[in-house]
Amino acid sequence: MAKIAIVVGTVYGAAQFVAEQAAEVLEGLSHQVNVYDDPEVSKITAPDVDFILVISSTTGAGDLPPNITEFYVNLKDQFPLLTGKQFAVIALGDSSYGETYCGGGAQLDALFEELQATRLKGMLKIDACEYMQPEDAALPWIKSWAENL
């Protein structure tokens, strides 16, 4: 059993919905899960958090959703080393945006690496051009590793 913090960045709610579905899957595997859509640094640095799952869309031109911007800035400023914690990022985006495709998720992925958390899996990009329902891509991906946490 792992203690999992799911951090959500969303504008229109798709990433939030994926997070809620992910929490159900993970709880079904007996993990303890908290979902944060107004995330705070202290929630992920808590010593009993084993795994951080970031689920974020992208807005503007490669930008983070407003609900997660303060968290990102605080995390960068405080720079708490996350050695010993694992993380993974699910990035919701739209490939028609070209170079900024999944840019929000990529910023978060890079920051968690800088903070020395251990990447469990490479970032999953979910393209709105391909998936009407991003959970169709996210849930099988989560199930592929969640039992072994």
Ligand X SMILES: Cc1cc2nc3c(=O)[nH]c(=O)nc-3n(C[C@H](O)[C@H](O)[C@H](O)COP(=O)(O)O)c2cc1C
Residues that bind ligand X (CB under 6 A): 10-15, 57-62, 65, 92-94, 97, 100-103, 128
Token code pair at residue 119 = 């990447």
Q: How far is the CB of 87 from ligand X (least distance, A)?
A: 19
Distance CA 19, CA 129 (A): 20
Closer residue to ligand X, CB minimum distance, 101 or 112: 101
By CB atoms closer than 10 A (0-12, 13-18, 19+), residue 122 is: exposed
Closer residue to ligand X, CB minimum distance, 13 or 140: 13
Q: How far is the CB of 70 from ligand X (least distance, A)?
A: 17
Find the distance separating the first CA and the last CA of the chain, reported in whole Å. 7
Tell me the residue nearest to ligand X as measured from the CB: 93
Q: How far is the CB of 90 from ligand X (least distance, A)?
A: 11
Closer residue to ligand X, CB minimum distance, 26 or 37: 37
Closer residue to ligand X, CB minimum distance, 45 or 100: 100
Q: What is the DSSP letter of 133?
A: S
44-78 residues labelled b (16+ CB within 10 A) or e (exposed): bbeeebbbbbbbbbbbeebebbebbeebbeebeee
Q: How far is the CB of 141 from ligand X (least distance, A)?
A: 16
